[in-house]
Every structure is written in structure tokens, then in C-alpha cells.
Amino acid sequence: MLALAAAEELNVGELAELLGESQPNVSRHAAPLRRAGLLVGRRDGTRLFLRLGALAAADLVVSDAIQTGRRLCNDDGSLARVAQVVHARDAQTREFFSRSAPKDASEQVAVEVPAYLHALAALVEPRGLAVDAGTGRGVLLDLLAPLFTRVVAIDRSDAQLARASERVQARAYPNVELVRDEIDGELARAAVGRGADVVVSARVLHHAPLPRDAVAALARLARPDGRVVVIDYCKHDDERLGRQHADVWMGFEAGELIEFAAAAGLSDVATFPIPRGYVGVGTDAHVGWQVLVGRRASES
């Protein structure tokens, strides 16, 4: 258990799957390890995630035991399956976004907004390339396309890109390129080239199996001195919302986002809440929304 928790933060159900044990049995064994400070727990709704505690690395006897555990996990294949378990976290998300859902009012931006933004574009510098990472149905394109010379919109779902394409065609955006790929995929990186002035990811992070890695991938899409903007939910306890939208995570603490940004090498990092009146009347309007902004370090 310690070896697997050292490899990745895993919830009790994932550990049970990897160990071939029942969840109650895993919880029973984890409890004394948590009390001893060898495992650290983190709640996400009703799930308990476990990771290796700092005390484990400081104890030579425990460190030796973890090395032995790692060899055992290598031998039985459970360590190699950690990546598969993490990948499976967003299986429901993938299925959810593969559906072609009916249009609803929450998708709409006031029809005159792109015209107003186009008029204000000269006030935004630089405005060369923007990336909409996880564009979904393309709502954010109504804000980015009028402001930037070029916009690359990335999504892994054919169904979502089809809806985004409808928006692009209806608005006649000549500067938008739709790319079907993961955020860190080869096609996405090729489309972005040397990096974007602004990389925006709106309500995507809570669907990422590994949000820390997702923020790092967003940072890599930005040019040196380019900006990364992440819009996502504050930490909440609405399990029903999570099930409705196939969420992997129930939002984030501001401190978690700052930690992700720091690990990604972003500087000038800040978080701030979005006023509730700004988020409309959608099914997720009742949970707090927040913004993370950071700058990719310049090349020396």
C-alpha cells in the first residue's frame, strides 16, 4: 500500500482494485498508517485519497520497506496498473462528452458581444495567438476570436468539436482552428507551434484525472512570458452535480491551484473568485467559480 501511494495519490477504491482487496480491508489497514503519519488522507466528496506522508521518506526503515513493496508491486504488475487506474478516472467524463446533447440557453453569448470585443481588440496586447484548451461547445470562442489574430481550440471529443464547429461556421470566424486531441497531444502542440500568448482552460480541470499534470500541460502550450488562465469550480460538496456532469473532482481549494501552478513553473500566480452573478443560471451556477492566472517564465 505504501509503495502504491508513493507512486501516485490514489483513493481507497483504486487501492483496493490494485491490491485485489476489499475497500473495507484497505481502509482498515490504512487507518494505522495514517495515524502514524506514513499516509496522508485527502477528502474529495465521499472519496478518501491517500498519498505517502513526509514522515515515510524521513524514516530509513520505512523507506527500505517501501523499496521492498515497490519490488513486490513490480513483480505482481500492480505498479504498472497505476497509470491505467488513473486513466480510468475520467472514463465517465469521456462518455458524457461524447454524447451530442441538445442546445440550451446556457451556451449562448449575447449576439452583439463579439462585435463589441472586436471593437475593443486594439486595447489588448499582445493579441497574436490564444488557445482554448478543452473548448467543448465553443462558447469561449465568442470571446477569444474577436480579440486575437488566431485561436486554436482543442478538444478530445468529436461530439463537442462538432458543436464548436457549428458555432465557428455560424459566426464565420476565419481565425479559429479546431484540433481534435488531448491538451498535451502531438497535434495540439503542432498547431500551437512556439507557444500561445494566452492559454485559457474553462471548466476543464475538474475533469482531468491528474489536475497537476493538466496545469503543467497548459503551461507548456504558452510561449515564454505567455499567460495561463484556468477557470474552474471552488471546492464544493454537491455530489449530484458531479454525477450529472461526470466530474472527476469536486472543485479545488485556491491553495491547490496555486500549488499546481507552482509545480508547472508558472510565476506571478494569483487566484480570485468570480462573482456569482456573472455565472448565469446553469446547473453549476450555485457552486463557486474561481480563476487561476500565471505567467510562463521567460527564457534566459
Q: Residue 300 and residue 282: Cα distance in Å, rounded?
A: 45
Distance CA 247, CA 244 (A): 8
Q: What is the pLDDT of residues 254-296, one digit of tens each?
A: 999 999 999 999 999 999 999 998 888 888 999 999 999 999 9
Contacts of 28 (CB under 8 A, 6+ apart): none
Residues 145 and 292 in one domain: yes
The lowest-confidence range among 17-21, 47-51, 88-92, 120-124 is 120-124
CATH of the domain at 35: 1.10.10.10
The residue out of 26, 47, 80 marking a domain boundary is: 80
pLDDT tens track for 226-257: 999 999 999 999 999 999 999 999 999 999 99
Residue entry with cell 484497505: 26
Q: What is the spatial distance between Cα 292 and Cα 278, in angstroms, rounded to a whole number?
A: 17
Angle at 209 between CA 204 and CA 214, to 5 degrees: 55
Global pTM reads 0.83
Provide CB contacts within 8 A for 26, sequence distance 6+. 1, 12, 15, 16, 19
3-class secondary-structure state, position 3? helix
Q: Which residue has the cell 488531448?
A: 182
Q: Are residues 180 and 151 in the same domain?
A: yes
* Residue 75 domain-assigned (yes or no): yes
Residues 142 and 264 in one domain: yes
CA–CA dist 181, 166 (Å, integer): 18
C-alpha cell at 134: 478543452
Asked if 73 and 119 sit in the same domain, the reply is no
The reply to whether 274 and 172 lie within a common domain is: yes
CATH number for position 280:
3.40.50.150
The contacts of residue 165 (CB under 8 Å, 6+ apart) are 138, 178
87 lies in some domain? no
Q: How many domains would you assign to the chain?
A: 2
Per-residue pLDDT tens digits for 206-225: 999 999 999 999 999 999 99
Does residue 236 lie in a domain region?
Answer: yes
The last residue of one of the domains, among 33, 49, 80, is: 80
Whether residue 88 lies inside any domain: the answer is no
The range of the structural domain enclosing residue 13 comes to 2-80
